[in-house]
Amino acid sequence: MKSRLYRTLSIAALGATAALIASCNKPGTPAAPPAPPVVITTTAEKADVAEDPLAPSEAKASVAEVKAAAKAPALAIAMFGGDSTRNMGNFTATNIPAEPKPDGPNMLWKADLGSRAYGGPTISGGKVVVGTNNDKPRNPRDIAKNMDGDEEPIDRGVLMCFDVKDGKFLWQAVHKKLESGQVNDWPREGVCSTPTIEGNRVYYISNRCTVVCADMNGRADGVQGKPLAYTDERTKKLVTFDSPTDADILWEFDLMKQVGVFPHNMSAGCPLIVGDILYTVTANGVDEGHINIPAPDAPSFIALDKNTGKLIWRANQPGKSIMHGQWSNPLVAEFGGKKQIIFPGGDGWIYAFTPDTGDLIWKFDANPKDTKYELGGTGTRSDFIGTPVLHDSKLYIGTGQDPEHFSGIAHFYCIDPSTKSGDISPELGPWGKKGMPNPNSAVVWHYGGADTRKLVPRDFLFGRTMSTCTIIDDVLYISELQGFLHCLDVKTGKKYWQYDTKGAIWGSTYFADGKIYLATEGGDLFVFKHDKKPQTIDDLDNPAATNNKEFNLAQKAKRKQIEDAYLLHKIEFDAPIRSTPVVADGVMYVMTEKSLYAFGTKK
């Protein structure tokens, strides 16, 4: 994995409602099914924890605290996907610009970020928060002279907060890079997490693999917590970041020091809050050689008390079966009257846990048993970058890999675990051999796999995805890394149409005001018309073609049909877009690699 890993998310990456957001990845094929569940509940193993004034004072919560946290009432929360269903869209917004052009009549403001931006934007309480790097420093403290004596930005991870009215910079949380280097914290990628906001608190994962809780008001209402502080490697003195525009940190949980996590290249993810419990994926993964897993017993998924940062429970699935890294996001759902926390693991399995104790309820292998994971992306087995979506008591998710592996065969599933427990995968059996049908399978439908039609340009129906789907009016939209947008029937998985944007897609589709917005790495923002009853136009279904020329002509004609029926606009931005456009309070936010734009009706 190299420097382009986290140009997303959205995961993400790696990431809106009325307090809405949005957006906020080798070898060795596992020889056996996932390691047996190892869940440590309500207690934590002792860790070699360095003195840290921001770390929670204890690493465990009492049984009474766990029960109280699990039963706490839900509040309005801004997160990746907008709300707890993670369905990508704002389904009540109206009068959203159909053609949000930079410097166009609907542009309200533009704010400079660093040179990388994947995490966010998340909008709530009159503020918008994004993750970026320090390539455009806001504080002279974050500039130093290089070997040639020239001043340049210090490489750091940054969470920035702006005023939604005019894009005014308000405050920032500046994180030093990890001393262990690129194996855990890739250079110049910044903060890749999509933040979650609840009330006056913002929660995110820093580039240092810490779960952070900060005051959304910065220092404007006084200092409620403490500043970020680091030991200067030269002077060995403690340096505190406590200028007026620095963050007010309420607590910080160090996943590496306190529970032994080994993040692969970068930490990301969007924390999920349910009552008083915060859930997050830890990014535990392989080492620089991509073969060894340095910390197989460290948790891949944890639950913390959102108020104090105390550890409530931890789960180390997939353990020794991690293929690469883990950068998806959790989901809360209720099936059969039971609330469950859904974790997409780094072995291509989905796991469901009880919210308060972390007991395993069910697990689902999203890859055929005879698939194989291979370094560099040539294999057929994948894990998850996209986030599961909850709709009509069913889960929807697609498989994918680190974007540097680019495209390959993948799978998209609709599953219904309402009455299920245990192994609910499509097949049973060990990895590497043809599986047997599972009578306990929860699959409703599956889209993807091999495409055996003649003359088609690739041999699979659906490619690896970093995206999270959008569901509206029984129509499902899902994009894939190779640039294709798929429009499906949400009840059956039948394909209505697909469209090639001809640009890599790191973000997700997003519904607002009757339209589907989708951005590409090339800096193009596509706007499609949503149709409650889509036409069936398969540009790859050309059985009468007898050669490539005939096939290409037929495909081109059908592409034009799709464009005439659904493509409204294609807008060019001046930098890659590796995030998802989002809408909050009548304003659309588009985050490129270096800028945050706000579009709406000028008053």
SS (H, E, C) 43-65: CCCCCCCCCCCCCCCCCCCCHHH
List the end-to-end C-alpha distance of the chain, in Å, as a whole number.
Answer: 46
Residues 6+ apart with CB under 8 A from 36: none
CATH of domain 39-599: 2.130.10.10
Domain parsing of the chain, residue ranges? 39-599
CA distance 495 to 118: 30
Render the burial of 36-60: b for 16+ CB within 10 Å, e for the rest. ebebbbbebeebeeeeeebbbeebb
The answer to whether the CB of 133 falls within 8 A of the CB of 190 is yes
Beta strands in 7-142 (DSSP E): 39-41, 77-78, 89-90, 107-112, 122-124, 127-133
The two tokens of residue 388 are 């599961």
Render the burial of 306-342: b for 16+ CB within 10 Å, e for the rest. bbbbbbbbbbbbbbebbbbbbbbbbbbbebeeeebbb
The answer to whether the CB of 397 falls within 8 A of the CB of 383 is no
The two tokens of residue 354 are 């009880």
Q: What's residue 377's pLDDT?
A: 76
CA distance 102 to 23: 19
Could you write out the DSSP letters of every residue in 358-391? Answer: --EEEEEE-S-TT----TTTTSS--B-SS--EEE
Per run of 10 residues, the mean pLDDT along the chain (length 603 residues) is 36 34 32 34 32 44 52 66 95 96 97 94 97 97 93 97 98 96 96 97 98 97 94 87 97 98 95 97 95 96 98 96 95 96 98 98 98 87 97 98 90 97 97 95 97 96 97 98 98 98 97 98 98 97 96 97 98 97 97 98 86
CA distance 10 to 518: 14
The two tokens of residue 231 are 């030991």
CA distance 301 to 213: 18
CB atoms within 10 A of CB 581: 28
In angstroms and rounded to an integer, the radius of gyration of the C-alpha atoms of the chain is 23
Q: What's residue 33's pLDDT?
A: 34
Q: What's residue 20's pLDDT?
A: 33
Q: What's residue 119's pLDDT?
A: 83
The two tokens of residue 113 are 């970020």
Model confidence over 115-147: pLDDT tens digits?
999 988 999 999 999 999 999 999 999 999 999
pTM summary value: 0.89
Q: H or E stretch including 313?
A: strand 311-315
Q: What's residue 62's pLDDT?
A: 54
Q: What's residue 378's pLDDT?
A: 84
Model confidence over 6-36: pLDDT tens digits?
333 333 333 333 333 333 322 333 333 333 3
CA distance 364 to 361: 11
